């Protein structure tokens, strides 16, 4: 982390000496929460929960971020690589279906080392890399052979919107390359056991593969359709697509008044109908008033 170039921002921060990068973090590994998490896709959370480890910091700083307390570094505890490996093993002992690394890119070298240590000590459940999609291919390659499932966002289809909401006009090019690397590493989705028909309907848990998420933003149906079209035309059934309707305005959005509302049922249904009309069969949708529920856990250091 000397002259840090781990993320596409390539800020060059001397994180080893205590300087904070654009991610808001030094080289000290900081974790906000490590606990069973039940709000992922069914083949990730299952019945026992996903072993979610929330890392502090983020390179994107989206204006609508729902996890701002940790993405801006306002929460979290410093842990060693050895302690992180223990956390992974403890989550396995609690019955987690998998280890879920949430926003791990800014600590990729330390996490890769901890995963290697944990696997040598008996970690056997799949490892999920849960990311905003804004990742360097070179950084993702540190996880090759260690991560089994990728769970990235594809937030935008246009650089203009990416610049307005995430200050990242290069987001689309970066995320497209990152997702291609993720699919290269994981291959087509594989589930535990052998299933006739739809493994999701059979309640199967994902063992390997990539699920790409897209969070519908208010008033951005056409952007969402473009994201769906790109993913389906590029990958077809080699990935699962997850369409999210849970957008909830948080923080000060006075400079972005168009975001100061929730997504309507009609907006979301139009995007889902578009995906079905394209031929998307491997996908997840959200039903009911999910935006009214809290998908934001307490970042109180639990399990750390």
Mean pLDDT, residues 16-28 taken together: 96
Tokens in use for 246? 């849970």
Residue 199 inside a domain? The answer is yes
What was the pLDDT predicted at 68?
81
What pLDDT does 301 receive?
A: 81
Listed in order, strand segments (DSSP E) in 11-126 are 30-37, 50-55, 77-78, 99-102
Does residue 10 lie in a domain region?
Answer: no
Q: Which residue has the tokens 């901890």?
A: 114
DSSP string, 138-165: HHHGGGTTT--EEEEB---S-HHHHHHH
Cβ-proximal residues to 214 (8 Å cutoff; 6+ apart), any chain: 153, 154, 155, 224, 227, 228, 231, 241, 242, 243, 244
21 found inside a domain = no
Phi and psi at residue 244, to the nearest 5°: -105, 135
Distance separating alpha carbons of residues 60 and 166, to the nearest angstrom:
6
Residue 223 lies in a domain: yes
Residue 42: how many CB atoms within 10 A of its CB? 14
- As given in the structure block, the two tokens for residue 223 are 């952007």
Query: Would 121 be classed as within a structural domain?
Result: yes
C-beta atoms surrounding 197 within 10 Å: 7
Rounded to the nearest integer, the mean pLDDT of the chain is 94
CA distance 142 to 293: 35
User: Residue 245: is its pLDDT beyond 50?
Assistant: yes
CATH number for position 201:
3.20.20.70
Kindly report the backbone phi and psi dihedral angles of residue 269, in degrees, each rounded to the nearest multiple of 5, phi listed first: -65, -35
Residue 187 domain flag: yes
Q: 107, 99, 164, 169: which is closest to 134 by C-alpha?
A: 169
State which residues form the domain around 267: 33-292
Pairing verdict, β 283-285 and 240-244: parallel
Torsion 126-78-135-217 (CA) sign: positive
Residue 41 has pLDDT above 90, yes or no: yes
- C-beta atoms surrounding 204 within 10 Å: 19
Predicted local distance difference test score (pLDDT) of residue 66: 85
Asked whether residue 28 is domain-assigned, the answer is no
Q: Per-residue pLDDT tens for 107-137?
A: 999 999 999 999 999 999 999 999 999 999 9
The confidence score (pLDDT) of residue 291 equals 47
User: How many domains does the chain contain in total?
Assistant: 1
DSSP secondary structure code for residue 278 in this structure: H
Residue 11: inside a domain: no
Residue 289 has a pLDDT of 59
- C-alpha distances out from residue 52 to 138, 171, 197, 215, 282, Å: 24, 25, 29, 20, 24
Q: From the DSSP assignment, how many helices (H) and strands (E) are in the chain? A: 9, 10
pLDDT one-digit tens code per residue, 193-227: 877 778 888 889 999 999 999 999 999 999 999 99
117 with 85: CB under 8 angstroms?
yes
The pLDDT of 144-171, averaged and rounded, is 98
Amino acid 293: pLDDT: 47
Q: Averaged over 165-190, what is the pLDDT?
A: 98
Q: What is the C-alpha separation between 98 and 46, in angstroms, rounded? A: 10
């Amino acid at each position: 982390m000397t002259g840090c170039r781990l993320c596409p921002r390539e800020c060059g921060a001397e994180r080893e000496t205590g300087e904070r990068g654009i991610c808001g973090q030094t080289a000290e590994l900081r974790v906000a929460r490590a606990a069973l998490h039940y709000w992922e896709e069914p083949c990730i959370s299952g019945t026992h929960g996903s072993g979610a480890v929330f890392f502090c910091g983020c390179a994107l700083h989206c204006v609508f971020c729902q996890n701002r307390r940790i993405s801006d570094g306002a929460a979290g505890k410093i842990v060693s690589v050895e302690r992180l490996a223990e956390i992974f093993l403890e989550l396995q002992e609690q019955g987690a279906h998998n280890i879920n690394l949430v926003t791990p890119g800014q600590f990729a070298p330390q996490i890769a080392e901890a995963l290697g240590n944990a696997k040598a000590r008996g970690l056997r459940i799949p490892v999920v890399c849960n990311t905003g999609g804004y990742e360097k291919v070179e950084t993702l390659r540190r996880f090759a052979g260690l991560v089994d499932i990728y769970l990235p966002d594809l937030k935008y289809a246009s650089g203009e919107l990416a610049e307005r909401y995430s200050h990242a006009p290069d987001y689309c090019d970066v995320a497209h390359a990152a997702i291609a690397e993720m699919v290269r590493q994981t291959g087509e989705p594989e589930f535990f056991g052998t299933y006739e028909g739809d493994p999701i309907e059979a309640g199967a848990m994902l063992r390997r593969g990539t699920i790409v998420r897209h969070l519908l933003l208010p008033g951005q149906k056409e952007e969402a359709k473009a994201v769906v079209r790109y993913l389906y035309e590029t990958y077809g059934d080699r990935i699962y697509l997850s369409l999210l309707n849970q957008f909830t305005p948080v923080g000060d959005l006075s400079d972005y008044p168009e975001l100061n509302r929730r997504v309507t049922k009609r907006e979301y249904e139009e995007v889902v109908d578009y995906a079905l009309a394209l031929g998307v069969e491997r996908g997840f949708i959200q039903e009911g008033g999910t935006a009214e529920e809290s998908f934001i856990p307490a970042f109180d250091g639990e399990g750390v």
